[in-house]
Each structure stands twice: as structure tokens, then as C-alpha cells.
Amino acid sequence: MAFPTPKAAGKIVLTSMALAVAGAFPGTFASAHAAGQDASRDDVQQVVVTAQKRAQTMVDVPQSMSVVGGDALEKHQATGFADYLKLVPSLQLVQETPGAGRLAVRGIDTGGVASTVAVYLDETPFGSSSGLANGAILAGDFDTFDLARVEVLRGPQGALYGASSLGGLIKFVTNAPDFDGFAMRARFGAASVDGGGVSYRTNLVVNTPISETLAARASLSYQKEPGFIDSIGTAGSDIARDINKSKNYGGRASLLYKPHKDFDLRLSAVAQNIATDAPGVVESDPDTLDSLYGRLTQSQFVPQMRDIHYRVFNGTANWNLGSASLTSATSYSTQKQYLREDVTFNIRPIIEANFGMSPDLFMGQELEVKKFTQELRLSSNGGGRVDWLAGLYYTDEDANLAQRYHPLVAGTMTPQDGLPLLADIGLGSNYREVAAFANTTIHLTPVYDLDIGGRYSHNKQDARQVGDGALAGGPADNSAESSEGVFTYATSIKRKFSERTAVYARAAKGFRPGGPNVLPPDVPEGTPTTYGSDSVMSYEAGLKTQSQDGRWSLDLSAFHIKWKDIQLLAVVNNFGVNTNGIGATADGAEFTATYRPLRGLRLSGNAVWSNARLDDATETIVGGFKGDRLPFSPRYTAALMADYRWTIGDTTPAFAGASVRRMSGQYGAFNYDYRVANGRQREVPSYNVVDAYAGLELGNWTVEVFGKNLGNSDGRLSTGVVIANGGLVNPNGAIGTGVIAPRTIGFTLTREY
């Protein structure tokens, strides 16, 4: 049995043309063996997605979204968020190291403590919902091998998904076990990274029916990336090469029990580890952001590391009750992070001034988030004047965050004696939420649909912080709690001209939970002990159309977003707290288009223009001024892609593809001092990224060569700060900037059994 084009839950088939409609790269074919049976066939089947918690075709979803199929992810060697930004309009990533990234959709981000984009793995919401567990920078970056697809919903999703989806939603959909027969697929690849070494990747997936009612599927992945950043001894730092090596490894297992056509139960488990050494940050000129010292460097005094562990367990049951279907989804997930961060250059001057010693120092951090969720929903089975869905949701999330400063004998990993405890701080928190939601689609006429949905969420949070140390202000034991209820909604109207063409207008509200500020018990009156939720109100209109023969498709949308009560850091009565303050406005337009001028050739493109800016000035500690563009919200992005598929002789399918992505200039993180000195925020230069691939299908073997970032662009993904705790973070006044990976050229071999 060959692996067919990816399938979801036994009912959804994603085809090459379907992905073109979704705005993803159009060169998405069945697997080598299956596609090789008919290389000339053009399939124009429409995509069916589940991001709105029911099966719908793309044209029936009255909002802007993209779908990237599993085969497209493999063709592009896309193993994480950074690899498929070009496939998804308006999706941005601010990242310094694998597994630690901040996601933004349509520019909705100001660098706050909680995420603005929700991440789901099938039915499991992943990551922290609160602002107390680094949720903003630890979005679940799941391995993409053996995925059915990635669905991206743009705009607030508060009506169906609730907390922390005010910017949008990313949903990873895994392949379910298949009853059709035994199948196995293995893949091995290697690549050379400019300025570094060789990367390796290997994958294996096995699917097998166990009985007529039971089937299993399991996959394993291992990826090792070389470093490409050196420490060259600047200001007495280490001399070491390729200090930012990383590994990404793990697996998924799934069991599907289907005793009859009206009931199925799927149990799944995911384990994934992302281990990195130094972050992918280079020392750059604070004005131009050009790399200093003629190469990609970072001053390492203490070897750094970050290990992130994902564990996700889910049980989802579906009952067909006739006129309606009942779904129960139970999940338990953990996210653990172990971090060693070099703070020598920043903290050493303080230690010298106060204790007369010059040690190396690192901050050790441990974070663990445990999350239990239960969702029950009942939905109509369609066919009537009204389609409806109603559900209940509960989550209980515990988080523990511990930080400690460790002094070391300079140039070694030996603890430095003779110093007092510098800082040892622990923050424990609990987030509980209950919610009820409902959605209904009223078919007003054969061509007009009205969609109305709402959700009421109530969360309760409590936190306790304990700590001690000379740099922590001495011993402390402080507690805080908060409680909040929020109603979000969405409504849209759609006019359908045919099964493949529709226009829509949508208004929707999303929110991000507030929370407690952990403060000493004797704080001055007026110091905020809690901060409230922030919210967005989005207005969107769009067109989705596809020709009947599937030769072309077009997806257009325009949006206007008002962001209120943004959660930002402030200083009140000399205490750093989270508060609600200013607002922001985002306006923009997006399009994706595909065209097939001849059999086997697919052309596509997508582009976004946006203007996301502050409505007023932030606190000085944040550094934003009225009218400033939001951080890492480019004025425009554009991508052009081409894919060609043909047959050599009568028996050997071949394929090739190329893409170019243009990222316009944008602004980095808010910085008050830079803004005052220069009259603008720090500018991040524009850049281009060119990728290409080609391959042959030789029976059950597929051979592919690829190149990523062929022009060796040094695009920037993040900007750090220049001044912190009274000292320069990097030698010579440099700023640390996250960079995209250099030119990578490699190959993969895939074998199907």
C-alpha cells in the first residue's frame, strides 16, 4: 500500500488544486508511488477543513485562511514555523532560537507576555493561556513530518477558540490511522549549511490495521542542525565555532477504534524534544543591523543551551446520533523548558562593583506547564435550513517558573566561591477557565448564509512568587489572584455565486486573558494588583473563487482591526507591573492566486499590504510612540512560486519548483532611547529568500535535491535591547539580532513499502 495524498480523519482528501485554492504552494501531489501512476492527471477537488470545528469546504468558510498540505511541507523541507512563512500570508515569526518563537498574524503583537496566536494540535490547545509562563515566546513548533496539513485562520477566533486567539489560529492536523492496509515510508536527508557543517534528518512512519475495527499509526523523526555562528574572543569571550547547534527529535503514535460507522475513538500521543546550544543571535551594528566583525558572531562567555520538551496526550470520541453528532475531546499536555543563558557581560560589572570579583555568570531557568482540557460539543449533521454547533470547554493549567543566577570561575564551568546568593526566584501559577460557546449558520436563501457565533469564558488565576538573593532584593513570598469573565463573538454574511465562488463580510471579537500582578503585601495604594484582558475587534471582507476546470483561483481579503487595552509593561510606584493601556489599529489587504497555464505547470503568488500602528504612546519602559508601526509588522510581503511536473519517458515522473519571498523593511522591538535619539524606531532592512527543489520518482523511491536561501540572505528575525540593568548586553555596543539560516543545499531519499 502506498501513502496517498494526506487524509484527515478518514474523510478529507487534500489535492494539488485544493491547496492552490487555500493559498499554499500549489505543487502538492500525491506521494511518489501514487502520483506516478498518473502523472498527467489534474485534480480540481476542493479542500475540506475543520478549523471551525466542523467539516467545510474552503469556499464555505466565511473568513480568510490558508491550508498547507503535508506533501507541500515535505517538498519545501519545512520542519518548523520559519520554513513555511512564505506559504501563509500575514503570518510573521519573531525568533532567536528553534522552539522559542513569537507568532503574529496581521501585525497583532507588541512584545507582550502572553501569546496573541493560538496553537492547536488536532483537538488539543497547546501552550500557556496566561501571562505568567512565557507563553508569548514558546508557541508549539511541532515537527511537520506525516502531517495531513496545517490550517491557519487569520483574524480573531474568540467565538470558537477563546483565549489568546485574538490574532489568529494555527492548527496542526495529523494523519489518522488508515484501515486500507499496511504501509511504511522511510526518509533520509542531509544538507550542507554555509558557514557551518552538515545537517541530517531521518523519518519513519508505519501504518497498520490491527483488526477490522482497530488501526494504528506511528512516526519517528530526528533532525540535527549544525551551528553557523562563531564566538571569536571579543572582549575576552570564548573562541569556539558553530556554537548554535540544535537537534529536534521525537515521535507520534495514534490508535483508531471504529466498531461501527457511527462511532470512533482515537487515542494519540506526541513526544518531541528541541535541544539547542547558543541561540541564533549575531552581534550587529545597532543602527544598520549589519553583522559586525565580517562574519556571524556571538560573544560566548558561558556555553548556552535550551531544551524544550513537548508531551501531548489526547482522546477524541465521535458519535453520530442521527440528526446531530457528539464529540468529546480530552487532552493532557506538558511543556518543559530548561535554559542556560549567558549573562556575563551584563551582570559582571554589578558583581565587580559590589563584591570585587569578576566571575562568568549564567541564568538557569526551568519552566513546566501542565495543561488539562476537556471539550464537549454537539453539532448538527447538516442538510437543513440551519446548521448549528454548541459546546462546553474546561481547562486547568499549572505552571512553575524558576530562575537562578550562577557565578562561575571565569573561563570554566566551576562554581565561584565567596559570593552570596545572587538571585533564586520561583513563580508558581494556576489558570482555570470554563466556557460555553455556540455557532449557527442560517441558510437565508439558496445563495445567502448568515453565520452567528458567541462564547462566554470565565477564568480564575492565582500565583505565588518566592525568592531571595542580593540581586533580588532579599527574601520575598508574595501571592496574587484574579478573576475575569469575557464574551466574544463573530458574525458574517456570505453570498455564494456557485460551488466555487463566494463573497463574505465578517465582524469578530477576540481576547487575551488578563491576570494577577505578584507584588509585596505593603505596596503603595494605587499599584495595580491585576491587569485586564485586551481585545480586538476585526472587520473583514473577501472574495474566494476558483474556475470550474481548476486552472485558476483567487482569494482576496481586506481587514480593519481595532486593538483595545493592550497589555504592556509599566512602572507604577517603582514596581514593574503588567497594565492595560493604549490601543492600536491595523489595516491591510491580502491576496493569493494560482494559475495553471499548461498541464503539469502551476504558478502561484501571495502578497500582503498592512499598516499596523499605535494609537498613542506607551510607557517609557516599553518605548513606543504614537503612530509607531507595531514591531515586526512589515509594510508588505510577497511570494512567487512555480512548480512543474512531467514524465521522463513513459515511466519516470519528475518534478521541480522554485520560490522567492520578499520581506519589506519593518521596525524592530520598541526602544525608547533609540526612538528619542533617531526620531523613529530601529529599522530592520528588507530581504529576499530564494528556494528551489527538484526530484525524480523511481518506482517506490523518490530522490530530491533542494536549496534553501540560495542567495544567502541575512534577514533579521528579531532585535534585542542595547541597555539593560545598567550595562551593555553585548561588547562594543552591539545589538543582538536573530538571523535566518544561511544557504543550505541538500538531498533527501524516500522509500515506500
DSSP per residue over 576-595, as a string? EEEEE---EEEEEEEEEEEE
Residue 527 has pLDDT above 90, yes or no: no
The number of folded domains in the chain is: 1
Residue 360 and residue 408 in contact, taking contact as beta carbons nearer than 8 Å: yes
Question: Is the C-alpha dihedral spanning 103, 106, 110, 116 positive or negative?
Answer: negative
**Which comes out higher in pLDDT, residue 724 or 96?**
96
Grid cell 535535491 is found at 705
Comparing 387-396, 416-425, 489-498, 524-533, which segment has the lowest mean pLDDT? 524-533
Whether 475 is in a domain gets the answer yes
Cα angle: 696, vertex 605, 31; to 5 degrees: 30
Whether 509 is in a domain gets the answer yes
Comparing 34-43, 391-400, 579-588, which segment has the lowest mean pLDDT? 34-43
Residue burial 224-249, b: 16+ Cβ < 10 Å; e: rest: bbbbbbbbbebeebbebebbbbbbbb
Whether 406 is in a domain gets the answer yes
CATH of the domain at 576: 2.40.170.20
Inter-CA distances, 330 with 162, 254, 372, 374, 432, Å = 17, 14, 8, 5, 15
pLDDT at position 465 is 93
User: Around 676, how many Cα atoms within 13 Å sit in the side-chain half-sphere?
Assistant: 7
How long is the chain?
Answer: 753
How far, rounded to the nearest angstrom, does the alpha carbon of residue 332 sit from its chain's CA centroid?
20
Q: How confident is the model at residue 1 (pLDDT cuts 50, 70, 90)?
A: very low
Mean pLDDT of 403-408: 95
Whether 511 is in a domain gets the answer yes
Whether 527 is in a domain gets the answer no
How many of the other CB atoms lie within 10 Å of CB of 576?
A: 11
Query: What is the residue range of 448's domain?
Result: 7-515+536-752
Residue 5 has pLDDT above 60, yes or no: no
Cα–Cα distance measured from residue 84 to residue 87, given in angstroms and rounded to the nearest whole number: 5
Residue 162 and residue 145 in contact, taking contact as beta carbons nearer than 8 Å: no
* Amino acid found at 173: V
Whether 47 is in a domain gets the answer yes
Q: How confident is the model at residue 133 (pLDDT cuts 50, 70, 90)?
A: confident
pLDDT at position 35 is 30
How many of the other CB atoms lie within 10 Å of CB of 727?
A: 13
The 10s digit of each residue's pLDDT in 300-337 is: 999 999 999 999 999 999 999 999 999 999 999 999 99
Grid cell 530548561 is found at 338
Grid cell 514593574 is found at 576
The 10s digit of each residue's pLDDT in 428-474 is: 999 999 999 999 999 999 999 999 999 999 999 999 999 999 988 88
The 10s digit of each residue's pLDDT in 41-74 is: 444 556 778 878 888 888 889 999 999 888 888 8
The 10s digit of each residue's pLDDT in 170-226 is: 999 999 999 999 999 999 999 999 999 999 999 999 999 999 999 999 999 999 999
Cα–Cα distance measured from residue 269 to residue 251, given in angstroms and rounded to the nearest whole number: 8
Residue 26 has pLDDT above 80, yes or no: no
**Three-class SS of residue 551?**
coil
Residue 295 and residue 742 in contact, taking contact as beta carbons nearer than 8 Å: no
Cα–Cα distance measured from residue 156 to residue 532, given in angstroms and rounded to the nearest whole number: 18
Comparing 16-20, 89-93, 420-424, 596-600, which segment has the lowest mean pLDDT? 16-20
Residue 91 has pLDDT above 60, yes or no: yes
Whole-prediction pTM value? Answer: 0.90
In the chain, what percentage of residues exceed pLDDT 70?
93
pLDDT at position 101 is 84
Question: Is the C-alpha dihedral spanning 677, 682, 683, 684 positive or negative?
Answer: positive
H/E element, 72: helix 70-75
How far, rounded to the nearest angstrom, does the alpha carbon of residue 130 sit from its chain's CA centroid?
17
* Amino acid found at 138: L
In the structure grid, which three cell numbers stand for residue 613, read together?
Answer: 500602528
* Amino acid found at 96: E
Mean pLDDT of 522-535: 88
Mean pLDDT of 370-393: 94
pLDDT at position 40 is 37
Q: What are phi and psi of 168, to 5 degrees?
A: 165, -165
Cα–Cα distance measured from residue 62 to residue 46, given in angstroms and rounded to the nearest whole number: 15
Residue 32 has pLDDT above 80, yes or no: no
Cα–Cα distance measured from residue 115 to residue 314, given in angstroms and rounded to the nearest whole number: 23
Residue 704 has pLDDT above 80, yes or no: yes
Residue 8 has pLDDT above 60, yes or no: no
Whether 2 is in a domain gets the answer no
Whether 284 is in a domain gets the answer yes
Cα–Cα distance measured from residue 172 to residue 121, given in angstroms and rounded to the nearest whole number: 5
pLDDT at position 548 is 87
Mean pLDDT of 412-433: 95
Residue burial 468-500, b: 16+ Cβ < 10 Å; e: rest: bbbbbeeebebebbbebebebbbbbbbebeeeb
Q: How confident is the model at residue 87 (pLDDT cuts 50, 70, 90)?
A: confident
Residue 2 has pLDDT above 80, yes or no: no
Q: How confident is the model at residue 728 (pLDDT cuts 50, 70, 90)?
A: low
